[in-house]
Amino acid sequence: MPYPDPRPLRILVIRYRFIGDTVLAIPFLRNLREAFPHAKIDVLAEPLSGDTLALCPYKDELLFYAPRLKGEKKRTAKFPTSLVGAVKFLRARKYDRCYILRRSFSSAILPWLAGIPHRVGFSTEGRRWLLQRSAPYAKKHEVECFLDVLRADGIPVTDTRNENWSDPAADQRVDHALPPGHRPRVFICAKSVFPLKDWAPERFAQLIAWLVNERGCEIHLCDSPGNAGYYDEIRAALPVPLARDWIDWSKQLSLRESNSLFRRMDLALGIDTGLLHLAASFHVPVVALFGPLEPWRWHPWDTKHRIVRPDDLSGERPLLRITVTEVQQAADPYLAAIAK
């Protein structure tokens, strides 16, 4: 098949769950759009993580599927929350092709049950029989694994760069609210949904005090309301005069609107989470603290970065072996470059 393919196909991309993985799908979507410039390309995602693709120009429609919702949230949801509901929803749309950027068995059986005739994804969890073409989940970066799904279907991969977009209205709000002056702006991402990946509130407090007092930075954060208590612990451990240098956007910006904040940061620093991948998508330098997960698969893509990881990964909290000094040393070259 020669590319670009001019046919007006209907294509579904499945990539629900996890903010970081969804951000890392942007190079995949760009190459898919280049191959099918006249196709209708929809993305099936969860309501929260899907917001990271809301402004992506390479997709047409963002569809929401939330199989993990429970209780009242599930009852009042305006989108499918069950496999049966999702199958009916997708079957009515009559897609020609589906590209599955998840590795679970359920994510492959969904388009099969929906009757999508051409299905491509990873050959994991014994699901190759559900796919017309498949790619191994190789030992490489997640972005390259996603692109392997295209390669498995004979689609050329011509551009692997990272990128992202922000809403002009949110840009104006953030610009208006930013403190005056030209101090280095450092985004702090201190909490993961997985406790094994966490560092320690008191160490973040020490690091922030150093960033403000010794390097003249202002500190920005924008995280889930569910993590507010953790950031309260960090703030309580800060010297009182530093409170004015701590700017919390968590109640002011949605995940989609936070793009306007990330693009104005000089450095992003913290736990390996989806928020650091968002920063990297705007080519903000990143210092990432890694514990159990492998940096070669999950490091920030296509941006300057430094990984801080303990040699000994045993135990429940391996990141506690990382010292404040190690993180300072990793951040200092970026801060020095900003100061020039």
Asked if the model's pLDDT at residue 178 lies above 90, the reply is yes
Q: According to the model, what pLDDT value does residue 26 have?
A: 97
Within 13 A of 292's CA, how many CA atoms are on the CB side? 10
Three-state SS string over 221-237 comes to ECCCHHHHHHHHHHHHC
3-state secondary structure of 110: helix
Amino acid at position 2, single letter: P
Question: Tokens in use for 274?
Answer: 């989806």
Q: What is the pLDDT of residue 262?
A: 97
Q: Give the orientation angle of helix 142-152 with respect to helix 26-35, to 10 degrees.
A: 20
Question: Residue with structure tokens 């799908």?
Answer: 25
Whole-number pLDDT of residue 137: 97
Per-residue pLDDT averaged across 137-157, rounded?
98
Average of pLDDT values for 215-228? 94
* Residue 273, phi-psi category: left (phi > 0), alpha (psi -120 to 50), beta (remainder): beta
How sure is the predictor about 81, in pLDDT bands with cuts at 50, 70 and 90?
A: confident
Q: Show the domains of the chain with their CATH numbers.
A: 10-152 (3.40.50.2000), 168-339 (3.40.50.2000)
Coil, helix or strand at residue 13: strand
- Beta-carbon contacts of 336 under 8 Å, excluding residues fewer than 6 positions away, are none
pLDDT of residue 47: 87
Check residue 313 and give its pLDDT. 92
Report the pLDDT value the prediction gives residue 78, as an integer from 0 to 100.
81
> Which residue in this structure is represented by tokens 């904040």?
261
- Within 13 Å and on the Cβ side, how many CA atoms surround 230? 21
Burial of residue 165 (number of CB atoms within 10 Å: 0-12, 13-18, 19+): middle
- Find the angle CA(27)-CA(30)-CA(32) to the nearest 5 degrees: 110
Instruction: Return the pLDDT at 74.
Output: 76
Write out the E strands in 160-217. Answer: 185-189
Whole-number pLDDT of residue 219: 97
Closest CA to 287 of 185, 142, 189: 189
Let me know: does 64 contact 35? Beta carbons within 8 Å. no
Q: What is the DSSP string of 257-288?
A: TTHHHHTT-SEEEEESSHHHHHHHHTT--EEE
Mean pLDDT along residues 313-339: 94
Distance, CA of 307 to CA of 328 (rounded, Å): 12
**DSSP annotation of 100:** E
User: For the segment 269-281, what is each residue's pLDDT rounded down to a tens digit?
Assistant: 999 999 999 999 9
| Tokens describing residue 185 | 């702006």
69: pLDDT strictly greater than 80? no
* pLDDT at position 243 over 80: no
Average pLDDT for residues 100-118, to the nearest whole number? Answer: 96
* 205-232 average pLDDT score: 95
Query: Which tokens sit at 253?
Result: 């910006």
Q: Hey, what are 139's tokens?
A: 């030992």
Bridge partners of 19?
none
Q: Which amino acid is at 16?
A: Y
The percentage of the chain sitting over the pLDDT mark of 90, rounded to a whole number, equals 84
Confidence of residue 39 (pLDDT cuts 50, 70, 90): very high
Mean pLDDT computed over 141-170: 97
Q: Are 260 and 253 in contact (CB under 8 A)?
A: yes
d(CA 18, CA 254): 16
182 — pLDDT class (breaks 50, 70, 90): confident
Could you tell me the two tokens for 200? 């320690």
Q: What is the mean pLDDT of the chain?
A: 94
**Quick one: pLDDT at residue 123?**
96
pLDDT tens-place string over residues 279-318: 999 999 999 999 988 999 999 999 999 999 999 999 888 9
Residue among 146, 105, 131 nearest 20 (CA): 146
